[in-house]
Structure 1
């Protein structure tokens, strides 16, 4: 399995972001499933899920303070990496 994500340290908090398909953010069951699947790759870190709409506009789901921070920055500045597990 491969996925795109990033680990960021900001204001003393280290957290992970994982890109998911947009339909995942529309279902609490799928959100929980994605969190379970990806959290093992980022142990002990808050996990943020990100999806993009057809125009590339990101939507974030997760801890509110981190989501608020991410909503104010250009997602292209995030150091994305492709993970293979």
Structure 2
């Protein structure tokens, strides 16, 4: 699976910001489920999901402190890149 994400460190916390379709964050329960699915691919660090609202603006879903921080930064300033995610072998 390939996703577009920014993997950043802020105030000593690593966080993955993963771009998803708006339907993925339509309900809080589904957003929490999707974030939990992505977390193992990013060293079990917190995951914030981001989609575009109806006006094309970023809408973040995740931990409140991280969402507040991300909402205060220009969307384009995050180090976006394509990530190829593969399940860890057990």
Which TM class, normalised by the smaller chain length? 0.7 to 0.9
Unaligned runs of 5+ in 1: none
Task: Measure the CA separation in 2 of the matches of 1:33 and 1:19.
Answer: 15
Contact 2:36 2:47 in 1 (8 A): no
TM-score scaled by structure 2?
0.83
How many residue pairs are counted as aligned between the two chains?
85
**What are the equivalent positions in structure 2 for 1:60-75 lying under 5 Å apart?**
60-75=60-75
Q: Which residue pairs with 2:58 in the alignment?
A: 58
Task: Measure the CA separation in 2 of the matches of 1:25 and 1:41.
Answer: 19
TM-score scaled by structure 1?
0.88
* RMSD after superposition: 1.4
**Moved segments of 4+, more than 2 Å:** 53-56
Instruction: Identify if the C-alpha distance between structure 1 residues 36 and 12 changes in structure 2 by more than 3 Å, giving closer, same or farther.
Output: closer
Unaligned runs of 5+ in 2: 86-90
Q: Which residue pairs with 1:7 in the alignment?
A: 7
3-state SS in 1 of match to 2:56: coil
Instruction: Identify if the C-alpha distance between structure 1 residues 29 and 64 changes in structure 2 by more than 3 Å, giving closer, same or farther.
Output: closer
Question: Is 1:83 aligned to 2:87, yes or no?
Answer: no
Deviation of 1:50 (Å):
0.5
